[in-house]
Structure formats: structure tokens, C-alpha cells
């Protein structure tokens, strides 16, 4: 690339019927100044482009990092969701098993209580029958008057034994 200094130092050979030296020098100076301004702008633009490329590379790296982070976050979220689903199923299964055990225990208690109830009813009926039979026998004895004789007999027997 041609620099402004090279333009300024350029020397032209003079030939027959050559250009007017002052006009050439003035024109070259204008070209040099214009070119110098463009050259500086170009250098600034190159620096700006380099800075922007650096920033672009940083943003690309940041974008890749964010993509990777997002992928990891999605995988983690899916894993957490799967684990929560498994845990939910395990809790439900354990609750169902515990409920079955409670129901089975309650059913056994109902059977035991029914059995005890039936046994108590049987014993009550047996007692009722025996007591009814006993009361009927006592009533018959009272009605027949036999108990008076038995009482006297028992009293006399007791007196004899005691020596009275």
C-alpha cells in the first residue's frame, strides 16, 4: 500500500516541455493530504474491524458457552423431571402397598372381632340356657315345696354334727 510519505517524496524527472513544477507540487500536496486522511481512516477502520472481530469472537465464545449451558440445563431439567417421576411412582407404590397392608390388617381384625362376637353370643346363649334351666328347676322346687324339707334336713344334719 502506498503511504502519504511516499507520495510526498516522489520525484518526477523533467522532460522536454514538462509540466509546471509548482502546479505538480500543489497537486501532489493535495493528493498527499487526501490520501493521508484516507490512510488514517483506513488504519482506524482496520483497528475498529480488529476490535470488532475480537468482540465478535468473544460473543461467539459466549454464545457457545450459553448454548452448552442451556443444553446442560435442559438435560439437568429432564433428569430432575425423570427422577421426580420415578420418586412419585415409588411413593405411590409404597403408599399402595401400605394401604393394602392396612386393609388386610383391618380385614383380619374384623374377622377376629366377628369370631369373638359369635363366640360371645354362643357363650351367652349357653349361659342363658343353663340359667333358664337352673331358674326353672328352682321355680319347680319352690312350687313343689321340696326345698322346705331340704332346708330342715340340712339344718338338722348340721346340728347333729355340731353336737347340739
Q: Given this model, what pLDDT does residue 40 score?
A: 93
SS3 26: helix
Q: Which domain holds residue 88?
A: 4-162
- At 35, the pLDDT band (50, 70, 90 cuts) reads confident
Residue 39: which residues within 8 A CB-CB, separation 6 or more? 1, 3, 4
Q: How large is the average pLDDT for residues 31-44? A: 90
Q: Assess contact for 39 and 4: CB atoms under 8 A.
A: yes
SS3 17: coil
Q: Given this model, what pLDDT does residue 150 score?
A: 60
Would you give the end-to-end CA distance of the chain in angstroms?
163
pLDDT tens digits, one per residue of 7-18: 777 777 777 777
Q: Select from 24, 2, 4 the least CA-distant residue to 13.
A: 24
pLDDT at 106 over 90: yes
CA neighbours closer than 13 Å in the CB half-sphere of residue 58 = 6
Q: Given this model, what pLDDT does residue 143 score?
A: 84
pLDDT tens digits, one per residue of 115-143: 999 999 999 999 999 999 999 988 888 88
Our separate counts of H helices and E strands in the chain read 3, 0
Q: How many residues does the chain have?
A: 164
CA neighbours closer than 13 Å in the CB half-sphere of residue 48 = 6
Predicted model pTM: 0.43
Cα distance between residue 31 and residue 25, in whole Å: 10
Q: Given this model, what pLDDT does residue 158 score?
A: 75
Number of structural domains the chain divides into: 1
User: 106: which 3 cell numbers?
Assistant: 383391618
Q: Given this model, what pLDDT does residue 75 score?
A: 96
pLDDT at 108 over 70: yes
Which has the minimum average pLDDT: 32-41, 54-63, 68-77, 88-97?
A: 32-41
Cα distance between residue 100 and residue 59, in whole Å: 60
Amino acid at each position: 500500500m502506498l503511504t502519504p510519505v511516499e507520495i510526498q517524496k516522489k520525484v518526477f524527472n523533467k522532460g522536454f516541455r514538462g509540466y509546471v513544477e509548482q502546479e505538480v507540487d500543489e497537486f501532489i500536496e493535495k493528493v498527499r493530504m487526501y490520501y493521508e486522511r484516507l490512510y488514517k481512516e483506513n488504519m482506524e477502520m482496520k483497528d475498529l474491524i480488529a476490535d470488532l472481530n475480537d468482540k465478535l469472537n468473544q460473543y461467539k465464545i459466549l454464545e457457545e458457552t450459553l448454548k452448552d449451558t442451556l443444553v446442560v440445563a435442559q438435560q439437568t431439567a429432564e433428569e430432575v423431571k425423570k427422577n421426580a417421576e420415578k420418586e412419585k411412582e415409588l411413593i405411590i407404590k409404597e403408599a399402595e402397598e401400605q394401604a393394602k397392608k392396612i386393609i388386610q390388617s383391618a380385614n383380619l381384625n374384623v374377622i377376629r372381632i366377628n369370631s369373638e362376637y359369635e363366640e360371645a353370643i354362643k357363650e351367652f346363649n349357653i349361659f342363658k340356657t343353663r340359667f333358664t334351666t337352673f331358674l326353672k328347676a328352682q321355680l319347680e322346687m319352690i312350687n313343689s315345696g321340696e326345698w322346705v324339707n331340704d332346708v330342715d334336713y340340712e339344718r338338722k344334719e348340721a346340728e347333729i354334727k355340731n353336737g347340739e
